[in-house]
Amino acid sequence: MGHVIIKTMKLYTLIFFLVCNQVTGQTINDTSYFKTDRLEKFEGVWCYKDDSSSFTIKLIKVKHYYSKSNDYDDVIHGWHEYIKNGKVIESSYSKINTRGDDTTHTLIGVPYKRDTLTSHYFNVGKTQFGKVFLIFSKNDHNKLRWELGWDEQIVITLQGEPKQDYSFRVPLLLELTRQKE
């Protein structure tokens, strides 16, 4: 009888660990992987155009590695290009990379609410930092609102570092349209 109880307890313990693994996305070893299926709808090329300027972003879902915590997480990496009066003001398009270990992205985002992605924005020179909210239009998932502002959580300038410039060279508020790739 005791042998059956021990086998049953082992079975329950195994089922418990398997269920926990499915719910959290964790593996049994020291590396965790947090997966989400809420990012696919943001992937693709999004663009704003008027008579004198265009702003384009490319968003890709990647498995991002955090070396300090030895964890993986599904995130959006993005790159941007801003053209005004025919002149490229800023572009990270030449650095597009689909690997999760990439450091050339200028946007990194995670789901915030059902139809919203929150992202950190970095200019190409990594001297300007901000927070971007990408919000789907209520009636049209081919429209995405871009809202850029400075991020009070990363505004700290360490002693000896150059002072941050918060006058962004890219637009602060736009409506982007999904492009066919």
pLDDT in tens, 69-108: 888 888 999 999 999 999 999 999 888 876 656 678 889 8
**Worst-scoring range by mean pLDDT, 21-35, 48-62, 158-172?**
21-35
pLDDT given at position 16: 38
pLDDT given at position 178: 97
Mean predicted lDDT score pLDDT of the chain: 77
Please tell me the distance from the alpha carbon of residue 181 to that of residue 98, in angstroms, as a whole number. 16
Please tell me the distance from the alpha carbon of residue 46 to that of residue 178, in angstroms, as a whole number. 4
Please tell me the distance from the alpha carbon of residue 94 to that of residue 130, in angstroms, as a whole number. 21
pTM of the shown model: 0.73
pLDDT given at position 45: 96
Q: Could you tell me the two tokens for 89?
A: 């003001």
**What percent of the chain is predicted at pLDDT more than 70?**
71
**pLDDT tens digits, 117-163:** 999 888 888 777 888 999 999 989 999 999 988 765 444 444 555 55
